Amino acid sequence: MSIVTPTPGPSNAGASALPLSPVVDIASAAQSTAGERIVAVSRYMRRNLSLPVGLSMLLVLAIFLIVGRFFVDLEESRAVSVRPLQPPSAELPFGSDRQGRNLFAVSVVGTPMTLQIGLTAGLIGVGFGATLAFIAAYYRGKVDTIIKGLVDTGLTIPGLMILITVAMNVRGGLNVTQMALVVACLAWLYPTRTIRAQLLTLRERGFIQIAQMSGMSGPEIIVKEMLPNLLPYLVAALVTSTSAAILASIGLEVLGLGPFEAPTIGMTLYWVNYNAAIINGWWWWWVPPIVVIGTVFIGLFLVAIGLDEVANPRLRRTV
């Protein structure tokens, strides 16, 4: 009886060809997933041109504001009595106004202030409105009735009238931060209503019911289940609220209720109106703020349209 010694066969060779570690497969899978996302985003950008066009307009404006700070003395945005009203020239690309201010410096300094007012009010409005919307849509009952009643009542009252009343009763005048807070006092109404409508449908989804049956508390379901699914819509709502807040702040400032010491876009238009620059033909005084306003609003509008497909499941195809 002889003992047969086994020799390496095809099975052993195949075993030696196995992957050394599952980490290799995980890394390759992650790379392929990231590559697929990049391809999907680029495909979405090509299909929905409004988003890249809007972002490009805002990027050009941002570059102008950043680069402009290196070519102008920012102190020239303040009133200088020794400089007369001048049209555009090599020394003053945007000319000067009757207060002696360099209008190029006014645009570089004042535009970020206006954007700061709109973004601050938009963040406060969407943040507070989303909080109320989550509470109302999830817990329903009397809480939902009270919040819905407050929002509906607030939306029926002319917002500009309330903002004018609040701004007129601020003692000592307004600064940029106070202006943002005044605008934000009504910026939460519309986001609360729209976000609540989205959450009412989201609350009836199967994964929410499964989370409830698994014993998760209400705050946990809101933060871990509902909030991630609503993030694209919240971003779109923030863009819309920022646009509305900028428009409201400019409206108040044109009426003379803004920060007089700040060269914001609205206050520049206020001085244009006060000095009858349009009637007198001083076009270089009012053209730059109009161009900046148009760029901001068109850019934000195109971004909001571009995000609509991401935020709206009915329109979503590939992201």
Q: What is the pLDDT of residues 55-113, one digit of tens each?
A: 999 999 999 999 999 988 888 888 776 678 889 988 889 999 988 899 999 999 999 99
Residue 249 contacts residue 118 (beta carbons within 8 Å): yes
In the numeric block, which tokens belong to residue 124?
């406060």
Q: Please say if the pLDDT value at position 16 is more than 80.
A: no
Quote the mean pLDDT of the chain.
83
pTM for the model: 0.81
Confidence of residue 20 (pLDDT cuts 50, 70, 90): very low
The β-bridge partners of 96 are 102
The β-bridge partners of 102 are 96
In the numeric block, which tokens belong to residue 95?
């000319």
Q: Which segment, 14-18, 217-221, 230-234, 299-303, is predicted with the most confidence on average?
A: 299-303
User: CA triplet 276, 280, 270: central angle to 5 degrees?
Assistant: 25
So where are the chain's domains?
A: 50-78+94-311
User: Quick one: pLDDT at residue 238?
Assistant: 92
List b or e across 134-155, with b for residues whose CB sees 16 or more CB atoms inside 10 angstroms.
bbbbbeeeeebeebbeebeebe
User: Quick one: pLDDT at residue 21?
Assistant: 46
User: Quick one: pLDDT at residue 11?
Assistant: 44
Q: Which CATH number fits domain 50-78+94-311: 1.10.3720.10, 1.10.357.10, 1.10.150.240, 3.40.50.300?
A: 1.10.3720.10
pLDDT tens-digit map of 211-241: 888 888 878 888 888 888 888 888 889 999 9
